[in-house]
Amino acid sequence: MKRVYNFSAGPSMLPLEVLEQAQKEFVCYGSSGMSVMEMSHRSKIFESILEKAKADLKDLMHIPDNYKILFLQGGGSTQFAMIPLNLMNKNNCADYVITGQWAKKAAEEASRYGKVNIVASSADTTFDRIPELDPAKFQKDADYFYITLNNTIYGTRWRELPDTGDVPLVGDMSSSILSEEIDITRFGLLYAGAQKNLGPAGVTVVIIREDLLGNAMEFTPTMLKYDIHAKNNSLYNTPPTYGIYFMGRVFEWVKAQGGVAAMQKRNEEKAALLYDFLDQSQLFRGTVVKKDRSLMNAPFVLPTEELNAKFIKEAEAQGFVNLKGHRTVGGMRASIYNAMPREGVEKLVAFMEQFEADNR
């Protein structure tokens, strides 16, 4: 069967080369005589898979020695609770910027454990932008300052990070990790679920500065304490072994592409193909203010619901699948993560041009 161009927001397309390599190694990994899925997480061979994945991520993201890399379970949503449980430990308050549903959910979860100060929100314009920040609204004594770097549903991204002084910046990079260069030293904690740019759902990467470890709230469940996982090198309990292996292969693939800077260049070119088309189109319209457009998720609309539905149906018949926008936004959304080849975007744009010519 022919593979389709899958524009899903997540889980999403993975690099074909990695899928094929995983297929080859699926039954027997190296000389082990078994699948990675069948290996003890305490075996030497699995340990080498874990260490290599960590070392490659450290390299790719230029992570300094004073940060721990953790491979956890529970997806991005578990981080919504782990962050306040572990970090709201001095003044029991934190700053949040609401740039979409995921930031909102994170703030709501945090408010169960302490005081949440909403510094800014773009809810009033349906999250079509990153809101302007007024530093006077930042709390000097906040335990951390939280942002969502790429807003998967609405298609916005932070281009400039807020200056939070001594207050640790915490970032959700679930839908943009390894897609653009980022200065990790600006962050106290950065995390990402795997199911967009890294691999199969089930593993979550957390990168945390060492000085933030060890002061979780008294009642924090053991499994939700970062320091427990840090002390045990992500092997406190059985980690998502197959996800870690696959993610490791994706890290190798990103390195072979030239690293994160090369990925970013390619992603900028792919996104420009789509946005340039939208900007000159008489029929299609992008929904995000230009300066805040995401490189990963591009939402757009047609003038009527009927045309939206027609477009999605006809696109699917041509092998461009999962273009329907999130239910809260409507219209369409093309998610063009690292693994989406340039050719996929070129063909989608050609299809959109033809659709416009046929439906004007």
b/e burial code for range 233-270 (CB count within 10 A of at least 16 → b): bbbbeebbbbbbbbbbbbbbbbeeeebbeebbebbeeb
Single out the catalytic residue among 56, 95, 172, 292. Answer: 172
Single out the catalytic residue among 54, 68, 196, 270. Answer: 196
Q: Which residue number has the CB closest to ligand PLP?
A: 75
CA 189-206-111 angle, 5° bins: 60
At its nearest, how many Å lie between ligand PLP and the CB of residue 358? 33
Backbone φ, ψ for residue 237 (5° rounding): -125, -170
Backbone φ, ψ for residue 251 (5° rounding): -60, -45
Please confirm, yes or no, whether 102 is among the known catalytic residues.
yes
Single out the catalytic residue among 54, 102, 225, 270. Answer: 102
At its nearest, how many Å lie between ligand PLP and the CB of residue 203? 10
Closest CA relative to residue 98, chosen from 106, 87, 90:
106
Please confirm, yes or no, whether 115 is among the known catalytic residues.
no
Query: Is 148 annotated as ligand-binding?
Result: no
Task: Closer to ligand PLP by CB, 39 or 57: give it.
Answer: 57
121: β partners: 98
Closest CA relative to residue 346, chosen from 16, 5, 55:
5
Task: Closer to ligand PLP by CB, 264 or 297: give it.
Answer: 297
Task: Closer to ligand PLP by CB, 174 or 338: give it.
Answer: 174
Query: Is 195 annotated as ligand-binding?
Result: yes
Coil vs helix vs strand at 293: strand
Please confirm, yes or no, whether 68 is among the known catalytic residues.
no
Residues that bind ligand PLP (CB under 6 A): 10, 75-77, 102, 148, 152, 172, 174-175, 193
At its nearest, how many Å lie between ligand PLP and the CB of residue 79? 8
Query: Is 328 annotated as ligand-binding?
Result: no
Query: Which H helix or E strand runs over 158?
Result: none
Using CA atoms, how far apart are residues 121 and 65, in angstroms rounded to an integer? 34
Query: Is 59 annotated as ligand-binding?
Result: no
Task: Closer to ligand PLP by CB, 99 or 308: give it.
Answer: 99
Query: Is 164 annotated as ligand-binding?
Result: no
Catalytic residues: 102, 172, 196
Residue numbers belonging to the annotated binding site for pyridoxal 5'-phosphate = 76-77, 102, 152, 172, 195, 237-238
